[in-house]
Amino acid sequence: MVRYILKRLIIMIPIIVGITLIVFAILNYTPGDAATLILGFDATEASLDALRAKLKLDDPFMVRYVRYLVGLLKGDLGISWRHNTPVAAELMNRIPNTLGLAAYAVTVMLILGIPMGIISAVRQYSLLDHTTLFIALLMTSIPTFWLALMMMLKFSLELGILPATMPTSAAITWKHWVLPTFMCSANLTASTVRTTRSNMLEVIRSDYIRTAKSKGAGQFRVIMYHALRNALMPVVTIVGINFNVLMGGAVITEQVFNISGVGNLLISSVRTKDAPMAMGCIIFIATVIGIVNLLVDLLYVFINPRLKSMYVRNNAAKEES
């Protein structure tokens, strides 16, 4: 298993390098001059030329990319062109807010999504089942940014019980996280409910579930000890996918609620063509997604130990051959 983890981590390296090449090319070939966007349109030509020379923007594309890649392999994310501060330091200030938002949203998704999906499957065609499916379909269909604006209008402007935006100071309370967490988790919770319900229905109709019931096992024991583990495999997959979607959706959420996170920083750096900062944000997001995908694969082994034995047998067969 350790060999498998190391193999997956090594595979992540060329993937991240490929992502950096694509993003670097997009930032390089999109219209707009980085020096003009940083200094402003009122800057003199002499100051623009001086900044271009300082940032080495006149060098060929591949020369600049290889220079950045060499620094990246040394652990240097570079200096922000706009803020003139280390990219790593700026990211460290923003990462806690982004990961905190993701953790809150995933927690809500798991606490609500899986139990609601199980109950809906056990009570199929009941009023509770129809209500749950209707709410899940509604949350899946509504655009999250529109839902966020409506929530801000109702709970912040009309009722005044929740703050609309995140403060820039350290005076952040749990109330500031309610609306962003709801916005991030609403759509993802709905998809988790539907996936859990459909897989639970498939499992509880299996022969071994009927056998367990015929032996006198209670419904709670059948669901929790026999059906749930087998039904969780696809649910773990959708949770991993939802987390990846969440990392991308955090860009919109942080913009709407003015959260000082990586997504907000990414948008501002792309607007000003601050390549080192944008690259640092993309590398962070890609790394988190890669690690989450690895954790999902490890959860498969925990849920279904047969996968581990199959992996061990395959490795043994390869070594013998």
pLDDT in tens, 171-181: 788 888 899 99
* Distance, CA of 248 to CA of 168 (rounded, Å): 22
Query: If we measure between CA atoms, which residue out of 311, 252, 274 comes closest to residue 51?
Result: 274
CA neighbours closer than 13 Å in the CB half-sphere of residue 106: 20
Q: What is the pTM of this model?
A: 0.84
Number of neighbouring beta carbons within 10 Å of residue 316? 10
Number of neighbouring beta carbons within 10 Å of residue 139? 18
DSSP 159: S
pLDDT computed for residue 104 by the predictor: 92
* Distance, CA of 165 to CA of 181 (rounded, Å): 12
pLDDT computed for residue 236 by the predictor: 85
* Cα 49 from chain centroid (whole Å): 39
Residues of the chain predicted below pLDDT 50: none
pLDDT computed for residue 164 by the predictor: 82
pLDDT computed for residue 165 by the predictor: 80
pLDDT computed for residue 315 by the predictor: 61
What is the signed CA dihedral for 101, 113, 206, 300, rounded to 10 degrees? 10
Distance (Å) of CA 297 to CA 43, 145, 183, 316: 52, 31, 27, 20
